A and B are shown apart, each in its own frame.
Chain A
């Protein structure tokens, strides 16, 4: 279980990633607290021992406008026992480092704003266990006010590029991105059906020419075979709804997760 993909982001946010030599990478997405924190911890441990590139740990928000029904439902389950952002950081800090993969916290901007972006960054750095953040509703333009804060604390702010993004805009986004570039594989919300188009391949290739950061594709990756295909051209693949769907049943989650791990290893070979 330790021979998995080894491209990692260190806790200081520096990437040891080298395109062409680093093996392709899997980024599973988990909703923190679904169905409970003990189960989340178990999934994190498993992901760490499988050597995933990173885990996107979703912090539930009451109004997740970019998420489809599966993640909305999981967030609602988790919100029943109030998974607050600051408490989640306390919780993360207590987990032994070897049981944690590199963590990217994913949630909507209001939760960061409410805690205070600077307070969040300060606490996140203190835990020594947060590589970065993924904030779907913080647009490139609005991020201008906050980017310097994330940077000064070494918290990577991931950049999003979507199929609707024009090339010149994509280039600006990629230039300011840290950690990895999140290429949204399809137009829509998380968990819709993805069909890979040649334009997605071309876009990922263009982005790879502009940046040394890993370019990871997410949204709608519903099968291990699809993950494998994506890893034929992308540096990483994010698997969200397909895994979140199984979160309530650890047996099924583990089985599905391992299938994706196996597929991602085959990806580039």
Chain B
């Protein structure tokens, strides 16, 4: 047996350690997932899968990853009891997993660190990424600066306009920001353009995809890196409360903060899980991003999952007050758990999310990202229906500094004052 095939065997063994059964060897979670990409990218995805599995079994890689999370990103992030917020609901206790306190202000940095370390191991010299609100773009530009990669970020031109601050941050960090003037000029179009770049440059470039979406192995890899959220939360909860939370709540765009929190709890049948999608203005074509409410099974950007599409199978545009949830498809593993009933999905609209944005700021002195505000809003809804000794854990996936200008504009538009 050659050295290489021995290493690959080890890699395969590693895959069993990462997850007992899912995804399968073709990257499917039940009927969802797969690798729907052009042949030009297939060998790169196969190489990436194998490199990831070998690295994840390597204690020195894990040590490097954990070390950088601790020293550079500030992990573990705190578990925080939002007493005043809970009191205001009159019901269950709401706890926050403070992912907003990560370096760069969101959970995104964890995945960026993991993939960048892997890319360095693979000998890549350049990172590319897509971004919507700019948080993943900033996280990628940050690790690129730290680890010495050249970096190019694709961002829809509509998002470039809406998120000028993050564009400046990325440039400051040394990244090239390329506005994408195609389609709806938002996240979906940025992903397409990043995939096109990767087809041209696959030898020297790693595509640092920002969420648990896209072709295998991205959903597996992003979940594995982000599961640190749920692992920490579990430990912290047991230590602090002496038992597991009753309910977990996370917002769902592509789904990386949700699967990161949920995955370590999946086999705990007593823990209920809720994924919150963006209800936008209304559940009607083009006015929301609730894929499970208005979508159907389809194939987009490398994966088979729930997609918002019209009667001809053309992908529909989306709307949400939060750019990070404003996307037409959802991660395949979440689609799978929705099918098994393990995770329940619901949606929160723009207005309710804005209300929660203000409520958490006012009661706790924590300004949440508009994405995370959807989860906070849903937790408030749930708390009212649950007894006072029940515990709800919310993934506060990001902080809201990036959103204050947009919220100020929206309030003005509505004629409201603070």
Where the two chains meet, the residues of A that have a C-beta atom closer than 8 Å to any C-beta of B are 61-66, 68, 72, 79, 82, 84-85, 108-111, 113-115, 136-142, 144, 160-166, 169, 173, 184, 187-189, 192
> Is the Cβ of A184 less than 8 Å from the Cβ of B298?
no
> Is the Cβ of B199 less than 8 Å from the Cβ of A189?
yes
Besides A61-B313, A65-B38, 13 other A-B contacts (C-beta < 8 A): A65-B301, A84-B313, A85-B313, A109-B36, A110-B299, A113-B299, A137-B37, A137-B302, A141-B42, A164-B41, A164-B43, A187-B40, A192-B200
Q: Which residue of A lies closest to B296 (CB)?
A: A114
CB neighbours (8 Å) of A84 from chain B are 311-313
CB neighbours (8 Å) of A165 from chain B are 39, 42-43
- CB contact between A139 and one of B42, B311, B313 (< 8 Å): that residue: B42
Chain B stretch 129-182: residues in CB contact (< 8 A) with chain A? 182
> Is the Cβ of B39 less than 8 Å from the Cβ of A110?
no
Top 9 A-B pairs, shortest CB-CB distance = A114-B313, A188-B200, A160-B39, A84-B312, A162-B40, A62-B314, A110-B299, A62-B315, A162-B39
Where the two chains meet, the residues of B that have a C-beta atom closer than 8 Å to any C-beta of A are 26, 34-44, 182-183, 188-189, 192, 195-196, 199-200, 202, 297-302, 304, 307, 309, 311-315
**Could you list 13 A-B pairs, sorted by A, with CB under 8 Å?**
A66-B196, A109-B36, A111-B312, A113-B304, A136-B39, A137-B299, A139-B38, A139-B42, A140-B42, A162-B42, A184-B39, A188-B196, A189-B196
CB neighbours (8 Å) of A114 from chain B are 298, 309, 312-313
Cβ distance A242 to chain B, nearest Cβ, rounded Å: 18
Contact status of A141 and B35, CB under 8 A, knowing A85-B313, A115-B313: yes
Cβ distance A171 to chain B, nearest Cβ, rounded Å: 14
> Is the Cβ of A63 less than 8 Å from the Cβ of B312?
no
- Tell me, in angstroms, the Cα distance from A187 to B205 when the chains sit together: 13
CB neighbours (8 Å) of A160 from chain B are 38-39
- Tell me, in angstroms, the Cα distance from A188 to B195 when the chains sit together: 9
CB neighbours (8 Å) of A68 from chain B are 196
> Is the Cβ of A63 less than 8 Å from the Cβ of B200?
no
> Is the Cβ of A137 less than 8 Å from the Cβ of B314?
no
Cβ distance A240 to chain B, nearest Cβ, rounded Å: 14
Cβ distance A123 to chain B, nearest Cβ, rounded Å: 14
> Is the Cβ of B196 less than 8 Å from the Cβ of A139?
no
Q: Which residue of A lies closest to B41 (CB)?
A: A164
> Is the Cβ of B202 less than 8 Å from the Cβ of A164?
yes
Contact status of A142 and B200, CB under 8 A, knowing A61-B314, A72-B182, A137-B302: no
Cβ distance A124 to chain B, nearest Cβ, rounded Å: 16
CB neighbours (8 Å) of A82 from chain B are 312
CB neighbours (8 Å) of B299 from chain A are 108-110, 113, 137
- Tell me, in angstroms, the Cα distance from A192 to B200 when the chains sit together: 9
- Tell me, in angstroms, the Cα distance from A65 to B195 when the chains sit together: 7
Q: Which residue of B lies closest to A79 (CB)?
A: B314
- CB contact between A113 and one of B189, B202, B302, B313 (< 8 Å): that residue: B313
Question: Which of A68, A82, A115, A162 is packed against the most chain B CB atoms within 10 Å?
Answer: A162
- Tell me, in angstroms, the Cα distance from A136 to B39 when the chains sit together: 7
- Tell me, in angstroms, the Cα distance from A246 to B297 when the chains sit together: 36
- CB contact between B196 and one of A65, A108, A169 (< 8 Å): that residue: A65
Cβ distance A158 to chain B, nearest Cβ, rounded Å: 11
- Tell me, in angstroms, the Cα distance from A166 to B44 when the chains sit together: 11
- Tell me, in angstroms, the Cα distance from A26 to B304 when the chains sit together: 34
CB neighbours (8 Å) of B315 from chain A are 62-63, 110
- Tell me, in angstroms, the Cα distance from A161 to B38 when the chains sit together: 10
> Is the Cβ of B43 less than 8 Å from the Cβ of A63?
no
- Tell me, in angstroms, the Cα distance from A248 to B312 when the chains sit together: 24
Question: Which of A108, A144, A160, A189 is packed against the most chain B CB atoms within 10 Å?
Answer: A189
- Tell me, in angstroms, the Cα distance from A114 to B298 when the chains sit together: 7
Contact status of A164 and B40, CB under 8 A, knowing A141-B35, A187-B202: yes
- Tell me, in angstroms, the Cα distance from A114 to B395 when the chains sit together: 34
> Is the Cβ of B36 less than 8 Å from the Cβ of A138?
yes
